[in-house]
Amino acid sequence: MTMAKSRTKRKSAKDNMPPEVSKLVDGAADYIQHWTRTELTRIQSSRLPICIPIKSGYLIGTYTLKVSPTKKCDVYNSSNELVHTFEDRRSAVLYAIYTLKRKYATADNILKLDIEINKNYTDIQAWRNHIVKARKRKDYDTVDIRTSRLEIAEKTLEYTRNEISKIYLTAKYNKIWDL
């Protein structure tokens, strides 16, 4: 059996440099990193929020949005504390923008609607699971009760999704990003 060659086996060009040149290269790299961080901080703290894509998500103003593989979006504030895990990336972006623009009522409404969507979605999954188990037990009274609760959760979920889509459309037509 033969082994594949390692691509990382080669030594870097920096190792062959004289120590003085290596120190200069390290100093230049540190300076560029420091300058980049200060410029990003200055841009983020400006009045107009700028969306900067990063490896794990986005930077919007002082907020960091981390998109997970399940398409959920975690929003972290400037202290790197989790604000909320949003179901939709659009909700997370709009929450950050409205908060930076100091439109707290709309930002709180987005947060409230997203919490309601998450709650109703998990309720629907739970009620469906209860109905399947009750049918296996042939407990039809429980099936009727759970079915009515499932319908209520589905209607509430549909209503809240419509409400949040209205906020999306309003933000799109008002061009909230430019205000």
For residue 47, what pLDDT band results from cuts at 50, 70 and 90? low
pLDDT digits (tens, 9 = 90+) for 115-134: 999 999 999 999 999 999 99
The pLDDT of residue 8: 55
Secondary structure, 3-state, the chain: CCCCCCHHHCCCHHHHCCHHHHHHHHHHHHHHHHHHHHHHHHHHCCCCCCEEEECCEEEECCEEEEECCCCCEEEECCCCCEEEEECCHHHHHHHHHHHHCCCHHHHHHHHHHHHHHHHHHHHHHHHHHHHHHHHHHCCHHHHHHHHHHHHHHHHHHHHHHHHHHHHHHHHHHHCCCCC
The pLDDT of residue 48: 66
User: Is a pLDDT exceeding 80 seen at residue 82?
Assistant: yes
**Could you tell me which residues come within 8 angstroms of residue 94 by beta carbon, excluding any fewer than 6 positions away?**
107, 110, 167, 168, 171, 176
Contact 120, 160 (CB under 8 A): yes
How many degrees, rounded to 5, is the angle at CA 71 between CA 61 and CA 59?
A: 15
Lowest mean pLDDT among 5-14, 47-56, 114-123: 5-14
- pLDDT, average across residues 47-76: 84
| Cα 16 to Cα 22: distance, rounded to the nearest angstrom | 9
Interstrand relation of 57-60 and 63-67 (parallel, antiparallel or unpaired): antiparallel
When comparing pLDDT for 16 and 34, which is higher? 34
**Could you tell me which residues come within 8 angstroms of residue 90 by beta carbon, excluding any fewer than 6 positions away?**
168
User: Is a pLDDT exceeding 60 seen at residue 179?
Assistant: no
When comparing pLDDT for 100 and 112, which is higher? 112
Contact 49, 96 (CB under 8 A): yes
The pLDDT of residue 153: 94
When comparing pLDDT for 10 and 95, which is higher? 95
